[in-house]
């Protein structure tokens, strides 16, 4: 497929973080871009401001009237239901129709590709990698799964650059459409079991992804990941190095510390030692992410000075340890964590940053299947807070599963104080007592609560 022959690009699910990045890219290439999403959000409103036509009702066959088949490319997300009227109309009329991952694969195939994969950590790591590379003379393009606070966007379009950073998503095996030159693997915890069935099939997918990395390239992999599984016996010969806080790693971070609410650490690799590295966002998990970027770019002989300055000036990703209010009397942090491992890492970082303050969490579970599969893990990680307000499960693409509810999860949580709440009442619930640290956690539509909570305390 030649994108040069395409005049119109239509997106089904244009408001998704990955889809909207592609929409912005094609808009920058001079294409007519439009699309559908089921809900108006801040992101879709911003797309409209940028000249992209977005509508919110499934128009079925009506959508065909304004699009010419021969010059239109339709891109859809795997999260769109198979019975969606517009999707079926395009399929029936034999429009050029591809998934988001295929489009990203085609775009990146012409560029030197840096891919970041992992069941968690990939958004922050890919955004940090893009930030560092953007500060080099070669610059870079980027497609990431969150809104960078440095770029204020989920995409970075630099036509003169021959490099691209992509967030390699394991959902629906999307990352198998990529052929990276370099890759970072942050984690391979069981997730998306509604897609994979079990953890072994997820590992198979990661193995297949690693085998797509250029033989002359480099894979930087978290030292905590176990590649002894027989599934990984058939890995290709691409060079691999490890990173982490594990002293057995090829590149390991040590001496993590907070000084006046600023975060520092050291990195060691063989006989080399890099002291007093500052990272603009806190947390041991973010230190690991930064170590991966430092290791990869150091192996590629990028300037140490550029890496250091970029790590220190990194502002993070919206909804990833995202400070909404940071005062002596009150701190509010928003975070996208939606897996028990992510929640544990996030709350551990918050507790280390504010060891003497009471932590109040607001959490919305994401997906019935994920809540079912990791019920005990969610209970354990959420029990780390001092008080919890638990919202109903956000269903996304799923139908309810009998016996899987937030009430069932709440009973298993051992936090000192806990109760159910709703988006409509969470502000009132929080205001009933004085708060010290409020954390807002989840991947559904809990982000719509962030602004009302922040505004009532400003």
Q: What is the pLDDT of residues 195-222, one digit of tens each?
A: 655 667 888 899 999 999 999 999 999 9
Q: Which residue has the tokens 């840096």?
A: 114
Cα torsion 69, 175, 285, 442: sign: positive
- The arithmetic mean of pLDDT across residues 396-424, rounded, is 95
The model's confidence at residue 241, banded by pLDDT at 50, 70 and 90, is: very high
The model's confidence at residue 171, banded by pLDDT at 50, 70 and 90, is: confident
- pLDDT, the chain, mean: 93
- The arithmetic mean of pLDDT across residues 333-347, rounded, is 92
The DSSP bridge pattern shows strands 141-148 and 153-156 to be antiparallel
Residue 355, C-beta contacts closer than 8 angstroms, at least 6 positions apart? none
Model confidence at 173: pLDDT above 60: yes
> What DSSP state is assigned to residue 437?
E
Q: Which residue has the tokens 């019935």?
A: 368
107, 187, 263, 430 from 286: Cα distances, Å: 29, 13, 10, 28
- The arithmetic mean of pLDDT across residues 343-360, rounded, is 93
**% pLDDT > 90, the chain:** 78
- Short-list 75, 163, 79, CA closest to 126: 163
Instruction: Let me know the angle formed at the C-alpha of 143 by 207 and 53, rounded to the nearest 5 degrees.
Output: 130
pLDDT tens-place string over residues 148-167: 999 999 999 999 999 999 99
Instruction: Please state the φ and ψ torsions of residue 92, each to the nearest 5 degrees.
Output: -65, -35
- The arithmetic mean of pLDDT across residues 401-429, rounded, is 97
Model confidence at 371: pLDDT above 90: yes
CA distance 41 to 18: 14
- The arithmetic mean of pLDDT across residues 94-100, rounded, is 94
Residue 119 three-state SS = coil
What structural domains does the chain harbor? 3-99 (3.40.50.720), 109-312 (3.40.1190.10), 322-457 (3.90.190.20)
Structure tokens that stand for 169 in this block: 């998503």
- The arithmetic mean of pLDDT across residues 389-408, rounded, is 94
Q: Which residue has the tokens 């770019």?
A: 297
- Short-list 348, 318, 377, CA closest to 191: 377
> What DSSP state is assigned to residue 432?
T
- Short-list 49, 65, 47, CA closest to 11: 47
Model confidence at 78: pLDDT above 90: no
Could you tell me if 334 and 322 are in contact, meaning their C-beta atoms sit under 8 angstroms apart? yes
Cα torsion 6, 78, 201, 293: sign: positive
pLDDT tens-place string over residues 259-276: 887 899 999 999 999 999
Model confidence at 186: pLDDT above 80: yes
Q: In this predicted structure, what is the pLDDT of residue 196?
A: 55
Q: What is the DSSP string of 243-297?
A: EES-TTSSEEEEEEEEETTEEEEEEEETTEEEEEEEESS--HHHHHHHHHHHHHH
Model confidence at 190: pLDDT above 70: no
- The arithmetic mean of pLDDT across residues 293-318, rounded, is 96
Task: Tell which phi-psi region holds residue 222, choosing left (phi > 0), alpha (psi between -120 and 50) or beta.
Answer: beta
Predicted model pTM:
0.80
Model confidence at 252: pLDDT above 80: yes
- The arithmetic mean of pLDDT across residues 312-335, rounded, is 92
Q: How many CB atoms lie within 10 A of CB 254?
A: 14
Strand order in the sheet with 251-259: 153-156, 141-148, 163-168, 112-117, 182-185, 218-222, 239-244, 251-259, 262-269, 272-279
Structure tokens that stand for 340 in this block: 């028990």
**% pLDDT > 70, the chain:** 98
Q: In this predicted structure, what is the pLDDT of residue 361?
A: 98
Model confidence at 194: pLDDT above 60: no
pLDDT tens-place string over residues 27-70: 999 999 999 998 898 899 999 999 999 999 999 999 999 899 98
- The arithmetic mean of pLDDT across residues 422-437, rounded, is 96
Q: In this predicted structure, what is the pLDDT of residue 191?
A: 57
- The arithmetic mean of pLDDT across residues 72-94, rounded, is 93
Model confidence at 4: pLDDT above 90: no
């Amino acid at each position: 497929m030649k994108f040069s022959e395409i005049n119109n690009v239509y997106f089904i699910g244009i408001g998704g973080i990955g889809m909207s990045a592609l929409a912005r890219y094609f808009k920058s290439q001079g294409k007519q871009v439009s699309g559908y999403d089921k809900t108006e959000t801040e992101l879709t409103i911003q797309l409209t401001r940028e000249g992209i036509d977005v509508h919110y009702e499934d128009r079925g066959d009506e959508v065909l009237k304004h699009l010419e088949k021969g010059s239109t490319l339709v891109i859809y997300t795997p999260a769109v239901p198979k019975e969606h009227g517009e999707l079926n109309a395009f399929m029936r009329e034999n429009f050029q129709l591809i998934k988001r991952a295929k489009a990203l694969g085609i775009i990146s195939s012409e560029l030197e590709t840096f891919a970041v994969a992992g069941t968690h950590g990939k958004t922050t790591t890919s955004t940090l990698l893009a930030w560092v590379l953007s500060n080099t003379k070669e610059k870079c393009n980027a497609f990431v799964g969150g809104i960078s606070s440095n770029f204020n966007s989920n995409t970075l379009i630099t036509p003169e650059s021959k490099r691209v950073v992509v967030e390699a998503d394991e959902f629906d095996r999307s990352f198998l459409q990529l052929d990276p030159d370099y890759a970072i693997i942050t984690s391979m915890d069981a997730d998306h079991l509604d897609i994979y069935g079990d953890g072994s099939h997820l590992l198979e997918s990661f193995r297949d992804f690693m085998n797509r990395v250029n033989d002359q390239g480099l894979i930087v992999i978290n030292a905590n990941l176990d590649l002894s599984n027989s599934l990984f016996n058939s890995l290709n010969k691409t060079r691999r190095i490890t990173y982490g806080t594990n002293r057995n790693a090829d590149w390991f971070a040590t001496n993590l510390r907070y000084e006046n609410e600023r975060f520092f650490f050291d990195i060691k690799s063989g006989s080399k030692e890099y002291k007093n590295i500052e990272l603009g966002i806190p947390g041991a998990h973010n230190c690991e992410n930064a170590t991966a970027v430092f290791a990869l770019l150091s192996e590629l002989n990028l300037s140490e000075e550029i890496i250091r300055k970029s790590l220190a000036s990194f502002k993070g990703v919206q909804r990833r340890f995202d400070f909404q209010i940071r005062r002596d009397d009150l701190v509010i942090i928003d975070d996208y964590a939606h897996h028990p491992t992510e929640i544990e890492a996030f709350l551990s970082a918050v507790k280390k940053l504010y060891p003497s303050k009471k932590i109040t969490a607001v959490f919305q579970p994401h997906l019935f299947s994920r809540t079912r599969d990791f019920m005990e893990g969610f209970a354990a990680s959420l029990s780390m807070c001092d008080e919890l307000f638990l919202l109903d499960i956000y269903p996304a693409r799923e139908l309810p599963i009998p016996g899987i509810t937030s009430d069932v999860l709440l009973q298993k949580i051992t936090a000192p104080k806990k109760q159910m709440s709703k988006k409509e009442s969470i502000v009132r619930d929080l205001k009933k007592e004085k708060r010290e640290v409020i954390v807002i956690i989840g991947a559904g539509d809990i982000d719509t609560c962030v602004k009302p909570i922040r505004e009532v305390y400003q």
